[in-house]
Amino acid sequence: MDQSALDQAMSLLGNLMVARKRDPIHLVVCGGSALIALNLVTRTTKDVDVLATMTDGQLNCARPLPDWLREDANAVRTELNLPDNWLNDGPADENLFRLGLPAGVAGRLVQREFGPALKVSFISRYDQIYFKLYAAADQGGRHFTDLKKLSPTADELLAAARWTFTQDVSAGFRLIVGEVLQALGYGNLIEQL
């Protein structure tokens, strides 16, 4: 999905929710779809990564997504010929909530409405740096490419690296984060961690 396809899918989902008289829901989205929606990176993605739901300003783990939302997303998938699980709650890891999201993440969200029943808040550039550094150390590949395209500053990377260590305290992970920082040209930050 590119920006146009993303907008089309989310708009259709919002319209379907209204037609089926669904309760309103507020999704918090990270990953490639958030990068695309906020014009931070030009690329495509196969899914919309749902990190959380939001109720009264509070972020909550989105896993599992409600059955009715999965049903509506499946109808959108069929209509637009999208991949299975295009609305993906994979990033909604309870451990992430238990260990802690980046401080202040809720205040930096960028919200859009796709009709009266569907609000979507996208993770900001600043918080994408945190998530992408963690994912680049964990999985590499496109996450490293995305992180590089975000052009993080030394201060942003230092803060992000410190947060990643709250998610994985192993010595091996620390070494990998150091390798990612080195590959980004910020190897000098390793001694500050």
CA-closest candidate to residue 178, choices 136, 150, 139: 136
Q: Note whether 75 and 16 are within 8 A (CB).
A: yes
Query: pLDDT tier at 97 (50, 70, 90 boundaries)?
Result: confident
Tens digits of per-residue pLDDT, 15-66?
999 999 999 999 999 999 999 999 999 899 999 999 999 999 999 999 999 9
Q: Note whether 158 and 182 are within 8 A (CB).
A: no
Domain segments of the chain as ranges: 3-123, 126-192
CA-closest candidate to residue 118, choices 48, 193, 41: 48
Q: How many residues are given for the chain?
A: 193
pLDDT at residue number 117? 98
Place of tokens 């209509």: 79
Q: What does the radius of gyration of the chain's CA atoms come to, in whole angstroms?
A: 17
Tens digits of per-residue pLDDT, 108-121?
999 999 999 999 99
